[in-house]
Amino acid sequence: MDAEMTVRYHRDVVEPVAVVEARNAALTVHPSNVLATVLVVADDGADGGTPVGHALVQSRDGEWEVKRVIVADGQRGRGIGRLLMAELETVAREGGASRLILQTGDRQPDAVALYEKIGFTRIPTYEPYVTTIPQSICFEKPIV
């Protein structure tokens, strides 16, 4: 996964320390802000199964923000991302959220396609991403 991340996000490019620190702070998930975590485990005979997908929702300025939607390489295209997002919607609905928001990037076309397919609509980039990751693509989905 490190090789994929280096290529996709150009991590081989040298940036000023202040830029890197600000971006890292914007992307950090603080445990005290986590409202729910979802894990998909494959029933593959391994002891307890093998984790194949993960997502969480955190509180950000009173909003329910989706973070860390990750599907294991080799497991993509099997509906795991949809399953994770559906469960987060259920959790948000039960928790009284009026909408889910999320931030992704222009280097994640697969994620953008998923979010659009499941009913998320683009919204203006919100802080802290406006100043730290200006190429962000942000979405919302009302919870009904």
Scan for tokens 């998320």, then name that residue: 120
Angle at 121 (CA atoms; ends 119, 123), nearest 5 degrees: 160
CA 104 to chain centre: 7
For the segment 31-87, what is each residue's pLDDT rounded down to a tens digit?
999 999 999 998 877 777 889 999 999 999 999 999 999 999 888 888 999 999 999
* Rounded Cα–Cα distance for residues 135 and 36 (Å): 27
Contact 72, 53 (CB under 8 A): yes
Q: Please give the model's pTM, rounded to 2 decimal places.
A: 0.83
For residue 1, give every residue at least 6 positions away whose Cβ sits within 8 Å of its Cβ, in sequence order, or none: 73
Three-class DSSP category at 137:
strand
* Rounded Cα–Cα distance for residues 141 and 144 (Å): 9
pLDDT-derived band at 3 (thresholds 50, 70, 90) equals: low
* Rounded Cα–Cα distance for residues 127 and 107 (Å): 19
Considering just the CA atoms, what is the radius of gyration of the chain in Å?
16
Sequence spans of domains, the chain: 2-142
Which pLDDT score is estimated for 19?
80
For the segment 78-136, what is each residue's pLDDT rounded down to a tens digit?
899 999 999 999 999 999 999 999 999 999 999 999 999 999 999 999 999 998 898 99
In the CATH hierarchy, which top-level class contains the domain 2-142? Answer: alpha beta
